[in-house]
Amino acid sequence: MSFEAISNLVAALLTLCIFSFLYKDNPFYKFAEALFIGVSMGYAIPLVYENAFIPFVYRPIFVKHNFWIIIPSILGALYIFRFNKKLGWLARYPIVFGLAIVGMGVIMSMHASVLVQMRSAMLPLDNINTILIFIGTVTILMYFFFSREHKGLYGKVTNIGVWFMMIGFGASFGYTVMARISLLIGRIQFLVGDWLGLIK
């Protein structure tokens, strides 16, 4: 038996173990899940060591003698105390700094998330697309204006905004389902084609 046949057999058995969860939770699924997590972590740890620790911690401190990098290194190492009940509070400091960086990203994302939407809503209303963008933007903003009760004509206008949001959420969910179905089709093609050889 060739190496490719053995690898296909192992991959097929693990795929079937994962699919067995569709029936109920069982030891085969738990084994495949634990194996997947273990292999992922076994791959990620040396990858982080080579691509993050060596070039951004070890070399700057011990080769280039940039000793100020010791401070963020110690701050990052405080995450380890998350597993200690008594010293777990030390892990809050790197979490706070991480959230602060996320907060700085909000300013940078203003252009992509807000300004582009505002620019799209200010285009000339000369076709159906710009009209729908304008109506959707205005009605959704009106829906989130909670200082006024959603009744009467105002309530009907905000209901239009709800319809726009539901269509957007439905499209996002549909895209997610489509991506998952694509993965499922890929695994079924692997089982039926590469493993069993029923299709080519």
Q: Is residue 133 part of a domain?
A: yes
> What's the rounded Cα separation, in Å, for the pair 186 and 95?
38
Q: Is residue 159 part of a domain?
A: yes
Q: Is residue 58 part of a domain?
A: no
Domain that holds residue 159: 112-200
Backbone dihedral region for residue 79 (phi beyond 0: left; psi -120 to 50: alpha; all else: beta): alpha
Are 146 and 154 in contact, with CB atoms under 8 Å apart? no
Q: Is residue 127 part of a domain?
A: yes
pLDDT value, residue 16: 95
pLDDT value, residue 107: 77
pLDDT value, residue 98: 86
> What's the rounded Cα separation, in Å, for the pair 140 and 150?
12
Q: Is residue 59 part of a domain?
A: no
Q: Is residue 165 part of a domain?
A: yes
| Size of the chain in residues | 200
User: How many domains does the chain fold into?
Assistant: 1
Sequential pLDDT tens for the chain (200 residues) = 788 889 999 999 999 999 999 999 999 999 999 999 999 999 999 999 999 999 999 999 999 999 999 999 999 999 999 989 899 999 999 999 888 888 777 777 777 777 877 787 788 888 998 899 889 989 999 999 888 898 999 999 999 999 999 999 999 999 999 999 999 999 999 999 988 888 87
pLDDT value, residue 26: 95
Q: Is residue 73 part of a domain?
A: no
Q: Is residue 65 part of a domain?
A: no
Is the model's pTM score more than 0.75? Answer: no
